[in-house]
Structure 1
Amino acid sequence: MTRSQDRLLAQWRAEPIREGKLRSYARLAKLDVYDYYLSGFVVFTAILATTTQFSVSVFPMLLCFVAGEVCVLASLVAFDDYTGYTDGSDIANYGPDAPLRRKLRKPLVAGTLTPAEALRFAWGAAAAAAILWTAAVLAGPYSPMWTIGLMVVTFVVSIQYSYGVKLSYHGFQELFLAALGWVLVLAPYALATGRLDSFVLVQALIFGLGPLLFGVYSNTNDIEGDRSVGRTTVASTVSPRANALFVGALSLAEFAIGAIGSLTGAAPWWFVLAMAPASVFRAMQFYRGFRAGDIMTARRMGFRVHRLSVLLMVLANLIVLATA
């Protein structure tokens, strides 16, 4: 950190914050941001909707997989916080001059955890994730090699996302945020069924865009902090207009995936209509962020739109099941 960042940190901690370690570790793991974990509901209902035989071994597999993904993401965000603290970007993005950001969201900056504690937690969560995902592969009725390979790559890249190689600092952030969501739907479905399904692929693509479409709004808010440490995102690299076009294209792509799925028969013909409420709210999110200029409110809207999308996909799967 630079001297100016040290001064900002001292100002930030002018009023000491006291909080229990367990709660601080939960904040470090970002357990309140559960949007990736919703993949389990999509996968389970998709299995029911697209298969005629259901094995009870799916339950322990899904339990181990979802518990593993919680640990993968806890490790990822803990490493991200550690790196963001040590390079000073979190001081800029969450410091006293950023009143819309909550102090306790960053335990290292707030002083409720030390860097050493965060690093130990990150490696511990990674170890737990490796054990749980191995157990998921062993417990599942199928174990396609491509699925195992996908899980291994996802695990390794998650650790290197903001630590080690720091892939998110070199232009891979947006792709990874979406790809992670795709894997969290496709991998457990394949472990349960041994195959891919076109309707599940459509849902996986939509699911992965959800977390990305609140991540890009965060990046838009964090442009200066990211630029100061050389973290390459679309928002920190291109002009404001180009960034707005990029986010708009992602929003449109989410709708287009459902529409193309319905038109081609990859999804039921009515699927695009079922997803229409989420498409409307996604347009409202874009308007709030890039027309009204309220990026942080638009970011919060992104969480709600993603959760609505998950609910609609779950309902679509149950409709397919009921009408089969």
Structure 2
Amino acid sequence: MSSEVKLPAGVRPAPAAAKVRAYVRLAKLDIIDYYLALPVALLLLAPAQRLSPGTVLTLVLFGLGELCVIAASVAFDDVTGYRDGSDAANYGPDAPRRRLARKPLLAGTLTPTEAIRFGWAAAVAGALLWAGAAAVAPHRSAWTLVLAALCLVTAVQYSWGLKISYRGWQEVFLFGFGVGMVLVPYGLLSSSLSGFAVLQAVLFGAGPMLFGLYSNTHDIEGDARVGRPTVAVLTSPRGNAAFITAMTFAQVACVVGSALAGVAPWWFPLAMLPMIALRGTELDIAFRRRDILLARRTAIRNHRVTVVLLCAVSLALPLLPGTTP
């Protein structure tokens, strides 16, 4: 194991009063994008079921567990990035102070030992909360429980233990975890799995994957230095651009193809036009204007727009007779 990097010049350990803020930053609680799966899953249910006590309790427990599982994943990711030097490369001493503060290990407000303890505590809490959600849920199909366990294990092992993101699986995880965060709560609340639910989960999961691809493009140097084999590291700039373009068009193809196949209503592509237009904007910003970080911010906003559109479609379906897929 490589030795831990030194703190940036001028950075001193934080006083005890700053620990709570440091843990909040470690957990990345301001990054809400995976949590947006909850309203998507909720609105896939029949209207009469959405506000039933069992539904609300299941979603509250699952949502709290999701928060803990993600907190564990990003905490371990920060520890690994601190130790191998990739965070020092990507959030170097010349980075703006606001940005450096998002990495409490680099900023000196937490120690690796504190972050590791936090990560394990969050992982255990997340597992218990998800078990509680399953215990009170109306349905507990085998596939739902297996998928929940897979999401838990892979999230904790993302940059820790098996380090799946260091073994070529980062992009798969970013997509698959998003899919799981829609399908697991939906499966706990629904007796069957519809093609339209799977479609919405796939479109949701594509969001974090796509803005993750732009992040990886920006972080090529640091990731390559520590042997993190992202697509951006493994391919040429042209190959990476082609991969991002292909993944973007794949999401659009799912929207159009689902309507043609009868999985979604015929008007679904029209409802998703704002998302499609923003995807084109992202590609233009990234590869014509050469502003990867702006493309990433645009992709994050587009993911949130996509969530709003998916929720609007689910709300509209019962009001439009004959259009339910």
**Shorter-chain TM-score above 0.5:** yes
**Quick one: distance in 2 between partners of 1:186 and 1:75?**
21
| Residues 1:85 and 2:82 are matched in the alignment | yes
Counterpart for residue 115 of structure 1: 112
| Residues 1:310 and 2:285 are matched in the alignment | no
Counterpart for residue 33 of structure 1: 31
**Cα offset, 1:101, TM superposition:** 7.5
**Cα offset, 1:303, TM superposition:** 1.1
- Aligned positions of 1:211-250 closer than 5 A: 211-250=208-247
**Quick one: distance in 1 between partners of 2:71 and 2:297?**
20
* 1:55–1:141 CA contact under 8 A, matched in 2: no
Report the more deviating stretch, 91-100 or 188-197.
91-100
2:41 pairs, out of 25, 40, 43, with 43
| Residues 1:24 and 2:50 are matched in the alignment | no
| Residues 1:267 and 2:267 are matched in the alignment | no
**Cα offset, 1:53, TM superposition:** 9.2
**Quick one: distance in 2 between partners of 1:298 and 1:113?**
31
**Cα offset, 1:321, TM superposition:** 2.4
**Quick one: distance in 2 between partners of 1:261 and 1:243?**
27
Counterpart for residue 125 of structure 1: 122
**Quick one: distance in 2 between partners of 1:35 and 1:321?**
27
**Quick one: distance in 2 between partners of 1:279 and 1:100?**
35
**Quick one: distance in 1 between partners of 2:213 and 2:231?**
8
* 1:94–1:101 CA contact under 8 A, matched in 2: no
**Quick one: distance in 1 between partners of 2:12 and 2:272?**
47
What's the secondary structure of 1:10's corresponding residue?
A: coil
**Cα offset, 1:253, TM superposition:** 1.1
**Quick one: distance in 2 between partners of 1:277 and 1:303?**
14
**Quick one: distance in 2 between partners of 1:121 and 1:4?**
18
RMSD: 2.1
**Quick one: distance in 2 between partners of 1:62 and 1:53?**
10
**Quick one: distance in 1 between partners of 2:266 and 2:188?**
27
- Aligned positions of 1:1-324 closer than 5 A: 6=6, 9-11=7-9, 13-14=10-11, 20-48=18-46, 55-99=52-96, 102-324=99-321
Structure 1: 5+ residue stretches without partners: none
* 1:27–1:107 CA contact under 8 A, matched in 2: yes
What do residues 74-108 of structure 1 show as CA deviations (whole Å, max 9, x unaligned)?
Answer: 10000000110011110111012445971111000
Percent identical pairs in the alignment equals: 47
**Cα offset, 1:4, TM superposition:** 11
**Quick one: distance in 1 between partners of 2:126 and 2:13?**
33
Name the structure with the higher helix share.
1
What do residues 168-223 of structure 1 show as CA deviations (whole Å, max 9, x unaligned)?
Answer: 00100000000001011111111101221111111000000001111111100100
**Cα offset, 1:165, TM superposition:** 1.0
What's the secondary structure of 1:293's corresponding residue?
A: coil
One-letter amino acid of the counterpart of residue 118, structure 1: A
TM-score, normalised with respect to structure 1:
0.94
One-letter amino acid of the counterpart of residue 32, structure 1: D
One-letter amino acid of the counterpart of residue 248, structure 1: T
* 2:22–2:109 CA contact under 8 A, matched in 1: yes
**Cα offset, 1:15, TM superposition:** 7.2
* 1:5–1:92 CA contact under 8 A, matched in 2: no
TM-score, normalised with respect to structure 2:
0.93
What's the secondary structure of 1:142's corresponding residue?
A: coil
**Quick one: distance in 1 between partners of 2:97 and 2:21?**
21
One-letter amino acid of the counterpart of residue 300, structure 2: F
**Cα offset, 1:10, TM superposition:** 3.4
